[in-house]
Amino acid sequence: MQSQLEGLKNQIKPHFLFNSLNALAGLIPKDGKRAIRYVNKLSAVFRYLLEIDDTPLISLEEELAFLHAYAYLQKERFGDNLVVDIDIDPSYYHKMIVPLSLQILFENVIKHNILSDEKPLRVNIFINDQGKITVENNLQLKDLPPSSTKIGLENIKKRYAFIVENAVDVQDTSSSFSVSLPLVQNPEVILSV
């Protein structure tokens, strides 16, 4: 499981850093204050990546703080072509989640879908009726999808299967795609097994 987490962290860093620096380079001459905010969010993202180290579970509150920073960076990159709605009741913040799982799902949404003025990509993150955190997007697949190893989603499924019996749910319809992840209530019991 540790090697899987390291693999996910390493998968994020190179291209994410490249894209982020390109976006920052575009911001600096246009708007210095936005560039400073961008650097602060980028710093928060990389601090989180360093801090989670070998942590098998993290609080939803911490994961959401990371996701807000990550989503901010993506919004700066794509502007109004990306619409993000994160609506989580704070009463769920104490529950635990596999680190980086929301970010990987969010990144996959951007990777596989069209983002344009005519077709803004909408990403909704919420707690569903089963008490799982759900990442849902309108489906507007690219004509030539990027080469995909499907490692991210499979890795998330394997990591969750190791920790909880409650499976990861994937729903793929003609108009939307969603992945729902279980939230862990009592990690001490699970992690001691």
Which domain range does residue 119 map to?
A: 2-191
pLDDT of residue 42: 83
Model pLDDT for residues 132-169, shown as the tens digit of each residue? 999 999 999 998 766 655 677 888 888 888 888 778 99
Q: How far is it, in rounded angstroms, from Cα 129 to Cα 121?
A: 24
Q: Which residue has the higher pLDDT, 32 or 124?
A: 124
Q: Which residue has the higher pLDDT, 16 or 159?
A: 159
Model pLDDT for residues 162-193, shown as the tens digit of each residue? 888 778 999 999 999 999 999 998 765 444 44
pLDDT of residue 159: 84
Domain count along the chain: 1
Long-range contacts of 137-140 (CB under 8 A, 24+ apart): 137/109, 137/113, 137/176, 137/177, 137/178, 138/113, 138/175, 138/176, 139/113, 139/172, 139/173, 139/174, 139/175, 139/176, 139/177, 140/113, 140/114
pLDDT category at 17 given cuts 50, 70, 90 is: low
pLDDT of residue 3: 52
CA 58 centroid distance within chain: 14
Give me the CATH number covering residue 186: 3.30.565.10
Q: Which residue has the higher pLDDT, 95 or 161?
A: 95
